[in-house]
Structure 1
Amino acid sequence: MATNGFLEVRSMANDSAVRILSSVEFHRTSTRILESIETVIDGKRDAVEMALTVLLAEGHLLIEDVPGVGKTMLARTLAKTVDCTVNRIQFTPDLLPSDITGVSIYNQVSREFEFKPGPVFANIVIGDEINRASPKTQSALLESMEEGQVTVDGETSALAAPFTVIATQNPVEMEGTYPLPEAQRDRFMARISMGYPDAAAELAMLHTRENSSPLDDVQPVVSTMELIAMIATVREVFVSSPVEQYAVTIVQATRSDPDLRVGASPRATLHLVRAAKARAALDGREFVLPDDIDALAVSVLAHRLIPANRLSSSGGAASVAAASEAVRRIVATTAVPLGAVGPA
């Protein structure tokens, strides 16, 4: 079942004829995106680069932090820099799965059921405060995030391509939140936090946002087809066998680490390598280095892990800290591959 031409867009994204950008073109385009985002998100270069990395790696991003530090602003700004379809879903306790995926409505004129697409049918879906909805409603995103499709009443509809979910959530220690199930967390390529701004950035915010929001001035700087070309370019980034083995060794180590009760999944390995390819491309390289794996390991792996310590396994701040520390220790003790890592 095609809806709003999305199948046509998906076909173009998977077309082998999509142009691969040169390193100069890729750098020029990615710089436009980053500079546009930083007109709104000041002093958070790492978070901004990570958000773009996930988008180019065809993943989904989870932004977790306390209220008011710019989680939703980052998601909205990234979405506005690309001239594509964007929908925002405000997750609340009374939200139903059909409010996300869509629903079949009976047409009394044609005497047939017609599918009305939900807000998940967009290139970029912003899920605001995703953990304020029940796990049943959260699960409405599982199929779309993994398979790029939605099944309602036995009918399957393809989603747009590219398709990315950028979700924000508050710490589970806060009132009215539901911990994300493990299967949901595992579908997010990476998890980041914003952190508080430094004094200079916060002072500047008082002056720049007194009368209006800088988000109002953000305009698209790349088209959907330019984004598709960037994604296709990232896919072509070379990963040597030693670097692949390095990533596998790190992920497998999480499954036998005594401080972890549940390690990272094979999906995590795929996400780690894909994100590393995007990071390499953003750095102007056509091949992945072990440094790319090291730099991304905590953001890509930690949110999937469950610490062995019961006091640190509730999914809260203690859990995140324990899992992150375990990943850092594993990376620090894993032998880095020697020799050539670029294409021959």
Structure 2
Amino acid sequence: MRIPRFRPIPAAVVAVATGVLLAVTSGTYRFGLTYSIILMLLALSYVVITGYLGQISLAQAAFAGAAGFMLSKVTAGWGLPFPVALVFCSLVAAGLGMLVALPAFRIRGAQLAIVTIAAALAIERFVFNNYSLTPPSGNPIANPTLFGLNLGVREGSDIARLSFSLTVLVVAALVVWGFIRLASGDTGRTFLAVRANERAAAASGINVRLTKLVGFGLSAFIAGVAGCLIGYSAGQLSAESFTVFVGLQVLAVAYLGGITSVGGAMIAGVIGPLGIVYVLLHNVFDFGDYYALISGLALIATAIVNPVGVAGEASRIADLLRSRRSRPPAPPGTDSAPNADDRKVAVSDAG
């Protein structure tokens, strides 16, 4: 586990490359890329709460859903404009996350996972499936606009407008940048200290309860941003958009990508449900119906062979290559392998 650092040049390359891909694609492929960016944010919320803070939360999809359903109320009912509506609804999700964090003051591990999944089920049953709050026809969401520009996802036969996709990319870039700034400072170090040992962190003067509140609130805020973007991408929301099973699917691909890094969240977005890999499997290979089976088997194989995930293994290989390049070369005329006389001396010394 390492403290993330913001690298402007690689970040700019990734952002520009993603923007180019969005520009040159269209239809379902552009929508798949756009949805991958949104799923990356949802996976990032798992990275915050589990990867950095060490708390197992299974309620991230519920937080995203709460923000998405609130978005339908504030846009269609109150007329709140973008991006104020997105920030407001994400803050509502953050408050809900802090409320769910209260049991984490006394329990952790599998017990906390059970409590959070119970909270997710309660939100799903009493909010998402409550017909007085969520009609069967769904909750309509007004298209986002900014300075008179229509940033909606659809227009006529175009199911994924470039303006919406670029808006999602900008929002995701800002969220990732903000998280890296926080994680690379004192907040990230306190998260890692609590993750390593709560008693030792408390003994060193860290307020463990406040740290958990901040962690749950931050992860729920990021999940809320993802939920709002999912709402904007769909135009309306229903209970099926944020079930517990959907959250478990995203958690699975987050572990598969690497739940301890931003790179792992990016990989999770690419391979997540309805992301670009799913679209390719469905359109090119007609394997879309087997996506859950394929991702499940890949998760099992990754847990056995490579527990740190794809991003963790890639980082380990990159560190190994850098260390080999930085190693000074041997002086000319010397042999790194021991000769026969050296081996004889070593054997006699050992005897």
The structure richer in helix per residue is: 2
Structure 1 length normalisation: TM-score?
Answer: 0.25
User: Relative to total residues, which structure has the larger strand share, 1 or 2?
Assistant: 1
Task: Compare relative contact order (CA 8 Å, sep 6+) and give the higher one, 1 or 2.
Answer: 2
Scaled by the length of structure 2, the TM-score of the pair is 0.24
